[in-house]
Amino acid sequence: MAIHPSKAAEAGSVYSERKKKSKFSYLWFNLNKYKAFYLLMLPGILYYIIFKYVPMYGVIIAFQNFSIGRGMMGSKFVGLKHFIEFFVNTPDTWKLIRNTVMLNVYDLLFRFPAPILLALLFHEIRNKRFKRFVQSVSYMPHFLSTVVIAGIMVTFLSQQTGIVNHLLRWFGIEPILFLGLPEWFRSIYVGSEIWQTVGWGTILYLAAIAGVDPTLYEAAKMDGANRFQQMRHVTLVGMFPVMIVLFVLTLGHFMETGFQKIILLYNPMTYDTADVLNTYIYRRGILSADFSFATAVGLFQAAIGFILVVMANRVVKKYSDTSLW
């Protein structure tokens, strides 16, 4: 028996209405049931809305000759002028990109694996009191401000009074002007980053290790696995999903660097290796008040970071069960 088209359409609309109502009721049930958790999330959500998403409107000044007096709506539209100026008419463009990429490559090679290795070492410590003490000591630099960390580095590496050069003299080696030689800057920067962040970075990995099923270690022991083999085939595998997620997120900041520490440590003698995109944006955008040009360079950084995150997420999703989305 054939159904009249109008009745079929009416039935379809009724079904879609019921589906919408069921989705709304399920959402309301979730909000009501887990309202405490959503309230805990609310400050973080508001932070990202206010300080991350709302300011995105300001990227339009990258395509304008922005004037504070005229505002965003009254400033003249110039298209890609500032991008062309950066890539074609700025003599230091490729040096800035090279320095930014090199610092981030060093960061991925040395700083990213550091908390993974430290978390594995913490997991192998059997004395709980000693383990808590070592963890507390490793966390401490995280709570120091960047200014304090930079001051410590300047003091320790001073050519005249620094403890490092005192030790070099003791071994009969001539003092080195560490902060005045371009070839030393990347090592100093990455080394200070490792020291400051490695302890705090172990927290997520230790949480991942705590979630590993203890019976897997028992099974590995019964199969004759030693401590190193258990670490490799059980502990490290349990940390793998967290490692992938953090790696993808790190790639999102690949064209960015902690410019505050760089500004505190660099000087004209080390510009060849220390001057990066963020420090150039600071000088051009804040000190010289060229807001449109600085926004254009910042938008270029954000675009590269977005492309890298999407590509990395597609790759890890293809070859593993873990991904950001």
Q: In this predicted structure, what is the pLDDT of residue 117?
A: 93
- 39 assigned to some structural domain: no
- 244 assigned to some structural domain: yes
Residue 285 predicted with pLDDT over 90: no
Tell me the per-residue pLDDT of 156-207, one tens digit each, with 9 for 90 and over. 999 888 899 999 999 998 999 999 999 999 999 999 999 999 999 899 899 8
Q: In this predicted structure, what is the pLDDT of residue 268?
A: 86
- 206 assigned to some structural domain: yes
Separation of alpha carbons 46 and 88, rounded Å: 39
Three-state helix/strand/coil letters over the chain: CCCCHHHHHHHHHHHHHHHHHHHHHHHHHHHHHCHHHHHHHHHHHHHHHHHHHHHHHHHHHHHEECCCCCHHHHCEECCCHHHHHHHHHCCCHHHHHHHHHHHHHHHHHHHCHHHHHHHHHHHHCCCHHHHHHHHHHHHHHHHCCHHHHHHHHHHHCCCCCCHHHHHHHHCCCCCCCHHHCHHHHHHHHHHHHHHHHHHHHHHHHHHHHHCCCHHHHHHHHHCCCCHHHHHHHHHHHHHHHHHHHHHHHHHCCCCCCCHHHHHHHCCHHHHHHHCCHHHHHHHHHHHCCCHHHHHHHHHHHHHHHHHHHHHHHHHHHHHCCCCCC
Its domain, for residue 275, covers: 92-319
Interval 133-152 mean pLDDT: 91
- 284 assigned to some structural domain: yes
Total tally of structural domains belonging to the chain: 1
CATH code of the domain in which 220 resides: 1.10.3720.10
Tell me the per-residue pLDDT of 244-253, one tens digit each, with 9 for 90 and over. 888 888 888 8
- 23 assigned to some structural domain: no
Residue 18 pLDDT class (50, 70, 90 cuts): low
Separation of alpha carbons 52 and 300, rounded Å: 17
Q: In this predicted structure, what is the pLDDT of residue 10?
A: 52
Calculate the average pLDDT of the chain: 86
Count of Cβ atoms closer than 10 Å to residue 44 Cβ: 9
Tell me the per-residue pLDDT of 104-123, one tens digit each, with 9 for 90 and over. 999 999 999 999 999 999 98
Tell me the per-residue pLDDT of 199-232, one tens digit each, with 9 for 90 and over. 998 998 998 998 888 898 889 888 888 888 998 8
pTM: 0.81
- 84 assigned to some structural domain: no
- 46 assigned to some structural domain: no
Separation of alpha carbons 60 and 57, rounded Å: 7
Output the six-digit token pair for 271. 């510009």
Interval 305-320 mean pLDDT: 85
Residue 108 dihedral angles phi and psi, to the nearest 5°: -65, -35
- 324 assigned to some structural domain: no
